Amino acid sequence: RYGRTPSAELAGVYDRSGKQVRSLNNDDKYLGRMEGHRHTGRPEIRYRYDSDGRVTEQLNPAGLSYTYQYEKDHITITDSLDRREVLHTQGEAGLK
């Protein structure tokens, strides 16, 4: 089962017994933008965005965090251990 905000955004996920297992925090200013989420008993994972609405950081206080850098033909993802992955893109919004 799913819980929704008054504007129909996903706000929570519930198991079969009705217990909430995940909660989501949505941005009041930008409809559809998730600011963070949490699984029951775990710390909240937060997101930061650039002026184009793209995720620039995923912040996890109990594990790996990530930064995202966007270029014309690739996205570089770097984790908090300084490991990098490059995703090559093609066209306006597609991965190769």
**47-61, pLDDT tens digit by residue?**
999 999 999 999 999
Residue 44 above 90 pLDDT?
yes
Q: Determine the pLDDT at residue 95.
A: 63
Q: Where are the domains of the chain?
A: 1-42, 43-96
CA distance to 17, 70, 83, 94, per residue, from 23 (Å): 16, 28, 29, 30
- This prediction's pTM: 0.82
* Contacts of residue 81, Cβ cutoff 8 Å, sequence gap at least 6: 64
